[in-house]
Chains A and B, each alone.
Chain A
Amino acid sequence: MKFKKIYFTLLLIVSLSGFSSCNKWLELKPQDGIVGAEFWLTKEQVQSAVIGCYSSLLVSPQGNRDIPMADLLFMYGELRGDMVVPGAFASIDEIDLMNVNILETSGLTNWNAFYRIINYCNNVIDFAPAVLQKDPTFTQAELDSYVAEALTIRSYMYFVLAKTWGNVPLKLQATKSDDDNFQIPTSTQLQVFQQIEKDLLEAEGKAKLTYNNIASDKGRITKYTVNAMQADLYLWLNDFQKANEACDKVINSGKFSLVPGNNAWFTTLYANGNSSEGIFELQFDLQQLNPFYTMHLQRPRFIGAPRVMEEVFRINFLDETKFDIRGNGASILSSDNSIYKYIGLNSQDRKTLEQSFTHWFVYRYADVLLMKAEALNELGDGEGAIEIINGKDDSDIKAIRIRARALEETKESFANPNTQKNAVTDYILKERAREFAFEGKRWFDVLRNARRNDYARRDLIIDMVTASAPVDKQQSIISKYRDNNSHYLPINFTELRTNKSLVQNPFYK
Chain B
Amino acid sequence: MKKLFKLKKLQVMTALLFLLVIGFVACKKENFKQTTDDSVNITGYFEKDIANYSVFLNILKLTDNASFLGAYGTYTVFAPTDEAFKAYLTAQGKTSIDQVDINVLKDLVKLHLIEDTVSTTSFTDGKISKPTVSGQYLTTLAKNEGGVTRIVINKLAKILQGNIRVGNGIIHSIDHVLVKSERTLAQEISATPSLSIFNKLLIATGWDVKLNTPLSFVNGEGSYVSVLTTTNAAYKANDPTLTDDQIVAKLIAKYSNTGNPMNAADSLNVYVAYRVLPGLKYMADIVTASSHGTKAPLEIISVKLSKDSILFNEDVFAGVLEKGVSADRDISDVSTTNGVLHFVRGDFAVKKRVPTAVYWDVADQPEIRQLPGIFRVGGKFQSFTRGTLRDIRWDGGNNPVVTYAVSTTGNFAGAYYSDYLQISLRTAVAQFVEFRTPVVIRGRYKVWISFRSIRGSSNSQNTCSAALDGVPFSRTVSFGEYKIRAQGDVGSVASDPTPTELEAQGYKNPITFNSSNWNCRLLGTMDILTTDRHIFRLDALTNSNASSATIDMIHFIPIDQNQISPKFGPNGEIVY
Contact = CB atoms under 8 A, between A and B. Distances in A.
Interface of A: 3, 7, 92, 96, 99, 101, 103, 306, 309-310, 315-317, 320, 323, 328, 334-336, 466-467, 471-486, 506-507, 509
B287 A472 contact: yes
Contact of A101 (B121, B147, B369, B375): B121
Contacts of B120: 101, 103
B1 to A, nearest CB: 16
Interface stretch (B5-13, B253-261, B527-535): B5-13
Contacts of A471: 284, 287-288, 305
Contacts of B124: 472-473, 476
Interface stretch (B135-143, B517-525, B551-559): B135-143
B523 to A, nearest CB: 31
B288 A476 contact: no
Which bracket fits the contact residues of B? 35 or more
A100 B151 CA distance: 12
B266 to A, nearest CB: 35
Given A317-B369, A336-B388, A480-B142, A475 B161 contact: no
B125 A476 contact: yes
Nearest to B151: A476
Contact of B371 (A99, A335, A509): A335
B181 interface: no
B149 A482 contact: yes
B149 A479 contact: yes
Contact of B9 (A3, A101, A328): A3
12 contacts: A3-B10, A103-B163, A317-B369, A323-B373, A328-B373, A472-B125, A476-B123, A476-B142, A479-B141, A480-B144, A482-B144, A482-B149
Interface in B97-141: 119-121, 123-126, 140-141
Interface string B270-286: 00000000000001110
Nearest to A319: B372
A interface SS class: helix
A146 B256 CA distance: 87
A476 B140 contact: yes
B137 to A, nearest CB: 14
A310 B369 CA distance: 10
B interface SS class: mixed
Contact of A479 (B126, B144, B371): B144
A471 B290 CA distance: 11
Contacts of A101: 120-121, 123
Contacts of A99: 121
Contacts of B388: 335-336
Nearest to A1: B6
Given A101-B120, A336-B388, A475 B141 contact: yes
B144 A315 contact: no
B39 to A, nearest CB: 14
A374 B468 CA distance: 55
B308 A474 contact: yes
Interface string B1-22: 0000010011001000000000
A509 B151 CA distance: 11
B398 interface: no
B370 A315 contact: yes
A197 to B, nearest CB: 27
Contacts of B377: 320
Given A476-B141, A476-B142, A483 B147 contact: yes
A310 B384 CA distance: 19
A315 B372 contact: yes
Among B142, B147, B384, max chain A CB count under 10 A is at B142
A189 to B, nearest CB: 16
Given A309-B370, A480-B144, A482-B147, 18 more contacts: A3-B6, A3-B9, A96-B121, A101-B123, A328-B371, A335-B388, A471-B284, A472-B124, A472-B284, A474-B125, A475-B141, A475-B283, A476-B123, A476-B125, A476-B140, A479-B142, A482-B144, A486-B149
A403 to B, nearest CB: 21
Interface string B339-376: 00000000000000000000000000000011111010
B33 interface: no
Given A101-B121, A335-B382, A466-B307, A317 B285 contact: no
Contacts of B385: 336
A233 B151 CA distance: 34
Contacts of A335: 371, 382, 384, 388
A133 to B, nearest CB: 53
Contacts of A309: 370
- What 4 pairs between A and B have smallest CB-CB spacing? A483-B149, A476-B142, A482-B144, A479-B142
Nearest to A7: B13
Among B124, B141, B385, max chain A CB count under 10 A is at B124
Contacts of B142: 475-477, 479-480
B436 interface: no
B2 to A, nearest CB: 11
B121 A483 contact: no
Contacts of B384: 335-336
A317 B147 contact: no
Contacts of B288: 471-472
A448 B336 CA distance: 44
B372 A323 contact: yes
Nearest to A465: B308
Contacts of B123: 101, 473, 476
Nearest to B284: A472
A454 B143 CA distance: 20
B124 to A, nearest CB: 4
A506 B13 contact: no
B86 interface: no
Contacts of B161: 509
Contacts of A509: 161
Contacts of B308: 466, 474-475, 478
B81 to A, nearest CB: 14
Among A317, A479, A506, max chain B CB count under 10 A is at A479
Contact of A317 (B149, B305, B307, B372): B372
Contact of A475 (B13, B125, B163, B372): B125
B500 to A, nearest CB: 39
Contacts of A486: 149
Interface string B408-437: 000000000000000000000000000000
Among B121, B144, B284, B372, max chain A CB count under 10 A is at B372
Contacts of A484: 147
Contacts of B141: 475-476, 479
B284 A473 contact: yes
Contact of A506 (B6, B148, B307): B148
A310 B308 CA distance: 19
Nearest to A333: B371
B329 interface: yes
A134 B52 CA distance: 63
A120 B371 CA distance: 48
Contacts of A466: 307-308
B292 to A, nearest CB: 14
Given A335-B382, A476-B151, A103 B121 contact: yes
A317 to B, nearest CB: 6
Interface in B1-58: 6, 9-10, 13
A483 B372 contact: no
Contacts of A482: 144, 147, 149
A3 B287 CA distance: 92
B333 to A, nearest CB: 10
Contacts of B307: 466-467
B366 to A, nearest CB: 9
Contacts of A506: 148
Given A3-B10, A480-B142, A482-B149, A316 B163 contact: no
Contacts of B6: 3
Nearest to B309: A466
Contacts of B10: 3
Contacts of B287: 471-472, 474
